Amino acid sequence: MSQYSNNELITAYLSRQILEDDLCFVGVGTNGRAFTLAVGIPLAAVRLAQMKQAPSAAVYWGNLLEPDLSSVPEHFTQDAFTQWQAAACPPDTGVKCDMLARRKFDVSFNSAAQVDRYGNMNITAIGDYENPKVRLVGCLAQPEHFAFVRRPYLVMDMDKRTFVEKVDFITSVGHLTGGTSRQEAGLAEGGPKLVVTNKAVFDFAEDTREMRLKSLHPGVVVEDVLSLMSFMPIVPETIPETEPPTEEELGFIRGEIDPNRILLKV
């Protein structure tokens, strides 16, 4: 077994969640590590899925429907976005919003400043909403993703300040306060499916909808994970290891998907 990076592990893991015909929403913004989590890993994961089990999986990126993932722009400046070839580029972003509300999206990749026990997410403000400690970016379509997308995947690094008991502001409603509270509030069934991190993968318990440790990345022990969380997730008695990337997956990622290490840079 050859060496692999954490980013490659996460990319391969996420790519295996993608099914034939999935329409996947990938975000556009940010830089540095946040770019890798929100843009780089998701684009690489969907492309890997296209090359393996899901050739008809597609991405909605910016306002481009089915951009050609076999030639991702090398520089993310405006003109590179403008020229990226795609199947469709609707006249305005409202079209994408309509597609979201009509549940045309199967998958979304999300990351946030805070996530809580029930998978509620905050990208709006840290601290008091009206006098915040840190004002973040707002909401974008993150509320829509959790409201309408069938399988949202959170892609985040673990940190005590990020994995909190209760988010300071609910931008996106996950499983709200657990159980059936999400549906009682007026949303359809759904909410975040998995939380894929740099240490472990979590899902949500079927009944209480609490975050539950699903697998540990190779070399990681439960204590490592818990020390990076401000709440106690459900910890099953036996926890499998996250399946590492195969030689074939690594070959695709390094040789064809991201040869210049643009997507999985940091």
Partner 1 sequence: MTLRTKLTTLEKAVSPIVSGSSVAIGGSLLRRQPNAIIRQLIRNGVRDLTVMSWAGTTAIDLLAAADAIRRWEGIYVGMFNYGLAPNFRRGVESGQIEVRDFSETAMVARLRAAAQGMPFLPIKTLFGSDIAKRNPEQIKEFDCPFTGQKLQAIAAAEPDFTVIHGYIGDEYGNVQWPVVRDTDDMDQPFAAGAKRLIVTVEKIVPHEEIRKQPSLTYIPGNWVEAIVEAPYGAHPAACDTYYDEDDAHLKDYLGRSKSGADVRSYLQEYVYSSNDHDEYLAKIGGTSALKALDVARRG
Q: Which residues bind partner 1 (CB under 8 A)?
A: 28-31, 35, 62-63, 76-79, 81-83, 89-94, 96-97, 100-101, 124-125, 129-144, 147-148, 169-173, 176, 181-182, 185-187
Q: Which is nearer to partner 1, 131 or 260 (CB)?
A: 131
Instruction: Give the span between the Cα atoms of 92 and 109, in whole angstroms.
Output: 21
The minimum distance between CB 131 and partner 1, in angstroms, equals 5
Q: Which residues pair with 155 in a beta bridge?
A: 196
Q: Which is nearer to partner 1, 18 or 115 (CB)?
A: 115
Instruction: Give the span between the Cα atoms of 7 and 13, in whole angstroms.
Output: 10
Take residue 197 and report the two structure tokens written for it. 């991190």
Q: Which is nearer to partner 1, 70 or 82 (CB)?
A: 82
The minimum distance between CB 246 and partner 1, in angstroms, equals 32
The minimum distance between CB 234 and partner 1, in angstroms, equals 22
Q: Which is nearer to partner 1, 192 or 245 (CB)?
A: 192
163-to-154, 181, 184, 202, 230 alpha-carbon distances in Å:
12, 21, 25, 12, 6
Query: Residue type for 124, please?
Result: T
The minimum distance between CB 98 and partner 1, in angstroms, equals 8
Helix (H, G, I), strand (E, B), or coil: what is residue 167? Answer: coil
Q: Which is nearer to partner 1, 12 or 147 (CB)?
A: 147
Take residue 31 and report the two structure tokens written for it. 């830089």
Question: CB neighbours of 52 closer than 8 A, spacing ≥ 6?
Answer: 15, 248, 249, 252
Instruction: Give the span between the Cα atoms of 266 and 263, in whole angstroms.
Output: 8
The minimum distance between CB 147 and partner 1, in angstroms, equals 5
